Structure 1
Amino acid sequence: MRVELVLKNRLKVARAEKELSQGALAEMVGVSRQTISSIETGQFCPTAKLALVLCVALDKKFEDLFYFE
């Protein structure tokens, strides 16, 4: 039996706490607004580097922002 882990995130909530638009966060981390949207909706899984850059930008620990389901 194989268990498939799906990476989920709390990016939208964390972004809202900082009162940042998708565009503003995207500019801070060097990606497009569409990339941020795709991560938030689960259509795109960020690289480890981008995930960590997002954590720094939002002042969150990795485990507070990303989790497996």
Structure 2
Amino acid sequence: MEIKVGIVHGPREIVLESEESAADVEAAFGKAVTDSAVLALTDDRGRKVLIPASRIAYLELGQEAARRVGFGSL
């Protein structure tokens, strides 16, 4: 699933592909915002992105089951 995170006063958004479900990401986002904590997201290659919840402008969640194109879809 593609996740886009807009950052307050940031020129670009953070875009990553993740294996997490939309419900899991939404729950983590809600918990981070209510606790004024850090939102931790892991992409499909195992890299972790940490974003302070106070700096998040918006969170956009894409389709969970996007069709893959190319050699990686085999």
* Fold in common (TM above 0.5): no
Q: Which one has a bigger Cα radius of gyration?
A: 2
> Larger RCO: Structure 1 or Structure 2 (Cα < 8 Å, ≥ 6 residues apart)?
1
Query: TM-score, structure 2 length as denominator?
Result: 0.29
| Bigger helix fraction | 1
Given the two structures, how large is their TM-score scaled by the length of structure 1?
A: 0.31
Larger % of strand: which? 2
